[in-house]
A and B are shown apart, each in its own frame.
Chain A
Amino acid sequence: MTAAGVLVVGYGNSLRSDDRIGWHAAGLLATDPRLAGARVLAQHQLVPELAEDVSRASLVVLVDAAAEGDPGSLLVRRVRPRPPTPATWSHHLDPETLAGLAEVLYGFVPPIVLVSVAAGSLAEGDRLSVALEQALPEVVEVVADVVTGQHRA
């Protein structure tokens, strides 16, 4: 079994400490044999140009830091498409608007799952906090479980 058709996007500001959790997760997931065939991207933010990639995927898993919660705690939830609005600017999108854009522009949205990890620090810095370093293996496991169908959001 391969993860062909799966798109994993880890995103966040890689110069803002725990906001780089998506980059770390993407780095590990890109070589994880359970995700063989999946496309894994690391991005600063979600942008409209991703909408086509989303619409072509069979499953999308997003990994991001969250500003609230106990540092290192995980929240896994389904993303429901929301129609784009004027307030949505071209520089970045939230997951719901990205899903909505894929639906409106390309007519298809696959299941989208957001794995968010509560940050301990979003200050300037190019390293994860201890709490998120410790949470990183769990993040990878959860994403792998979502991709292999063992975790349902």
Chain B
Amino acid sequence: MAREIVIEPVTRIEGHAKITIQLDDDGQVADAHFHVTQFRGFERICQGRPVHELPSIMARICGICPVSHLIASAKACDQILATEPPPTAVDLRRIMNLAQVVQSHALSFFHLSSPDLLFGFDAEAGGRHLFGVLGANPQLARDGVGLRRFGQQVIESLGGKRIHPAWVVPGGVDAPLQAETRDQILAALPEARAATQRALAWYKTSVRRFAEEAARFGDFPSAFMGLVGPDGTVEHYDGTLRVVGADGAVLAERTDPRPYWEYLGEAVEPWSYLKSAYWKDLGYPGGVYRVGPLARLNVADRMGTPRADEELEDFRGRLGRTPSSSFHYHHARLIEILHCLERLQAELDDPEILSTRVRSVAGINRDEGIGVAEAPRGTLLHHYRVDGDGIVQWANLVIATGHNNLAMNRSVAQVARHYVKADRLTEPMLNRVEAVIRCYDPCLSCSTHAIGQMPLHLQLLAPDGSVLDECKR
């Protein structure tokens, strides 16, 4: 008799989810699904609202990465206004986005994943949390809290508040950067860089313990997608959308990534509110690709900043040109933090960053706009249609976690096939199934646009659908 395991809720992720593991008649794992069980529907909420309100409304999708939604939304609005933000406004938007990548990656790596990496996946779940880290490795905990604080403070100093700042507006930003604010950010950068480099050194030593997990946590060939700059460097605000295959060969290079329907499909499954994006050329469900920090490193020729480039060279020296295991998202996340800090320094060292010309003003000049940017978790697209008065008629959002949905499901199945050997749930098995999801740092509030908490529900199901065992946290 085939059976099924259900893990619900999934912990230390952003949002509500459950995992089901289906067993076959021989008790072996036949399939596994990552279900997103929450729904919010921002694409409907925004209908009927003036388009100028959308950046602020869309930022409410997420309390962790509101800046990404602000930026993608404002870029879509720029297109509807048929206006280009002044160069300084573009740089200021970029600075805020870089700060957000720092704080979000710090939350993912230090608060959510470092307990697994410090204590191991066989450790008691009760001790694997940030405050456990605080007791065992206070410097690591301090660095995590400090890096998140740094990113949040940069966002707050630019936008007036750290969550849901309304400073990014259609046509640019709401106010120029003050010299005092710039100097405060610059003064904090050296310690932030030092904290990141300490974490990288610690990670590279610690990861040796997890060779088995690295070979099982979503290690399969897939495409990778992300923005790159004109010189092939990692890009978070704007650029060419590049897709590479498992061997690193470029499959596609979209100079204008906005007509996403030409190359991406969005499938809907009855068991999840999270859409499954796929690469159209490869079809569904075969068109699996990954986005986010690992993908950005894999698609880029180089990082484009000195220390991060050294780390990328080391990363590729250890793991190859295009690492295929999602376990390496953790390492990629740290390298990206370092890159963002270096990029922040370069942006703030430019005297033009204090220019007071930071906003272009225009009316409704187009009935459609698409904004594309890189959020911490991957490529983010906002697509709006408006009427002649600028009232939103339709919206579609393609979110990083949706891009990764097929890969996450495949990863859960891979981990389950290796670690699930019985009709009962064991703690090490449960830990690893959760941890592979955590590699992707999914944001379910973003991807279904829902209010987020962090529960996990795992169910073990028989072939007839009856629940053999279940676990809730």
Q: Are A86 and B129 in contact (CB under 8 A)?
A: yes
CB within 8 Å for A49 and B131 given contacts A44-B163, A105-B142: no
Interface membership of B221, Cβ < 8 A: no
Q: Are A49 and B129 in contact (CB under 8 A)?
A: no
Interface membership of B107, Cβ < 8 A: yes
Q: Are B145 and A84 in contact (CB under 8 A)?
A: no
Q: Which residue of B lies closest to A45 (CB)?
A: B163
Q: Which residue of B lies closest to A90 (CB)?
A: B111
Interface membership of A48, Cβ < 8 A: yes
Contacts of B145 in A (CB 8 A): 48-49, 51-52, 105
A45–B146 CA distance with the chains assembled, in angstroms: 18
A88–B134 CA distance with the chains assembled, in angstroms: 13
Contacts of A150 in B (CB 8 A): none
CB within 8 Å for A105 and B141 given contacts A49-B148, A49-B149: yes
Taking the nearest CB of chain B, how far is it from the CB of A95, in angstroms? 17
Q: What is the 8 Å Cβ interface bit string for chain A, positions 37-53, against chain B (1 contact, 0 not)?
A: 00000001000110110
Interface residues of A in 88-114 (CB under 8 A from B): 88-91, 104-106
Q: Are B131 and A88 in contact (CB under 8 A)?
A: yes
Q: Is the interface of A mostly helix, strand, loop or mixed?
A: loop
Q: Are B131 and A86 in contact (CB under 8 A)?
A: yes
Q: Are B138 and A104 in contact (CB under 8 A)?
A: yes
Q: Are B111 and A105 in contact (CB under 8 A)?
A: no
Contacts of A105 in B (CB 8 A): 134, 138, 141-142, 145
Interface membership of B270, Cβ < 8 A: no
Interface membership of B132, Cβ < 8 A: yes
Select which of B111, B131, B142 is within 8 A of A85 by beta carbon: B131
Taking the nearest CB of chain A, how far is it from the CB of B161, in angstroms? 8
Q: Are A90 and B130 in contact (CB under 8 A)?
A: yes
Contacts of B134 in A (CB 8 A): 84, 104-105
A97–B455 CA distance with the chains assembled, in angstroms: 22
Interface residues of A in 42-80 (CB under 8 A from B): 44, 48-49, 51-52
Contacts of B63 in A (CB 8 A): 91
Interface membership of B152, Cβ < 8 A: yes
Please tell me the number of chain B residues within 8 Å of chain A, measured between CB atoms: 21
Q: Which residue of B lies closest to A49 (CB)?
A: B149
Q: Are B107 and A90 in contact (CB under 8 A)?
A: yes
Q: What is the 8 Å Cβ interface bit string for chain B, positions 133-144, against chain A (1 contact, 0 not)?
A: 010001001100
A81–B419 CA distance with the chains assembled, in angstroms: 42
Listed residue (B145, B152, B454) with the most chain A CB atoms within 10 angstroms of its CB: B145
Q: Are A86 and B163 in contact (CB under 8 A)?
A: no
Contacts of A85 in B (CB 8 A): 131
Interface residues of B in 87-137 (CB under 8 A from A): 107, 111, 126-127, 129-132, 134
Contacts of B148 in A (CB 8 A): 48-49
Contacts of A84 in B (CB 8 A): 131, 134
A127–B14 CA distance with the chains assembled, in angstroms: 31
Q: Are B146 and A52 in contact (CB under 8 A)?
A: yes
Contacts of A51 in B (CB 8 A): 145
Q: Which residue of B lies closest to A89 (CB)?
A: B454
CB within 8 Å for A86 and B149 given contacts A104-B134, A105-B134: no
Q: Which residue of B lies closest to A47 (CB)?
A: B152
Taking the nearest CB of chain B, how far is it from the CB of A16, in angstroms? 15
Taking the nearest CB of chain A, how far is it from the CB of B420, in angstroms? 26
Select which of B130, B132, B138, B152 is within 8 A of A49 by beta carbon: B152
A84–B134 CA distance with the chains assembled, in angstroms: 9
Contacts of B141 in A (CB 8 A): 105
Contacts of A89 in B (CB 8 A): 454
Contacts of A44 in B (CB 8 A): 163
Contacts of B132 in A (CB 8 A): 86
Interface residues of B in 154-182 (CB under 8 A from A): 163
Q: Which residue of A lies closest to B153 (CB)?
A: A49
A89–B131 CA distance with the chains assembled, in angstroms: 9
Contacts of A104 in B (CB 8 A): 134, 138
A85–B126 CA distance with the chains assembled, in angstroms: 10
**Inter-chain pairs besides A86-B131, A90-B107, 19 sampled, C-beta below 8 Å:** A48-B130, A48-B148, A49-B148, A49-B149, A49-B153, A51-B145, A52-B145, A84-B131, A84-B134, A86-B126, A86-B127, A86-B129, A86-B132, A88-B131, A89-B454, A90-B111, A104-B138, A105-B141, A106-B142
7 CB contacts below 8 A, A to B, read A49-B153, A51-B145, A89-B454, A90-B107, A91-B63, A105-B134, A105-B141
Residues of A within 8 A of B (CB): 44, 48-49, 51-52, 84-86, 88-91, 104-106
Pairs A-B, 10 closest by C-beta atoms: A49-B149, A84-B131, A86-B129, A90-B111, A48-B145, A105-B142, A49-B152, A49-B148, A104-B134, A49-B145
